[in-house]
Amino acid sequence: MTDVDRGGLLTSIRSAVAAAPNPDAAMTQTVRLLKDGIAAYTWVGIYLLDGDELVLGPFLGKPSPHTRIPLGSGICGAAASERATIVVDDVNADPRYLACSLETRSEIVVPIMEGDEVLGEIDIDSDRPAAFGAADTRLLEQVAALLAESLSEE
């Protein structure tokens, strides 16, 4: 499978989010476009913050055992607590990692922020080691900003 270019993918996601009737639809379509657009994105999901837990929303890939993640736990919890994108090139070398699938080798977690407030996060796993570079961080931080707008309009 060939990747679509990341600029084109961002344009498609921007259109889908703008046309979506509600944030759930915006998130579902975003997950689909990311998963279909980039071959290295093996598992794509969105968690939403509920109190002090991250709750799994739309996702594509194998079902994850981690449907609720406390803020103090996992790479997901760390990204939300630090309010910053975390890229892990080798998940097996990171003691914070909560395993979702034995095949996963690398992961990126990008917070969805409204100002200083964390609304949720985009979580992507790859079966390839060190799959996420600067272009992925840039793309996914822009996508997170689009989702933050959609979620805060509710």
Contact positions toward ligand SME, by CB under 6 A? 43, 45, 64, 66, 69, 74-76, 97-98, 100, 107, 123, 125
Element (H, E) at 123: strand 117-126
The minimum distance between CB 123 and ligand SME, in angstroms, equals 6
The minimum distance between CB 49 and ligand SME, in angstroms, equals 14
**Distance of alpha carbon 52 from alpha carbon 80, whole angstroms:** 10
* CA angle in degrees (0–180, nearest 5) for 46-2-56: 10
> By C-beta, is 12 or 67 nearer to ligand SME?
67
**Distance of alpha carbon 5 from alpha carbon 109, whole angstroms:** 20
**Distance of alpha carbon 18 from alpha carbon 41, whole angstroms:** 23
> By C-beta, is 10 or 109 nearer to ligand SME?
109
The minimum distance between CB 153 and ligand SME, in angstroms, equals 27
> By C-beta, is 107 or 136 nearer to ligand SME?
107
The minimum distance between CB 39 and ligand SME, in angstroms, equals 18
Strands 117-126 and 68-70: unpaired
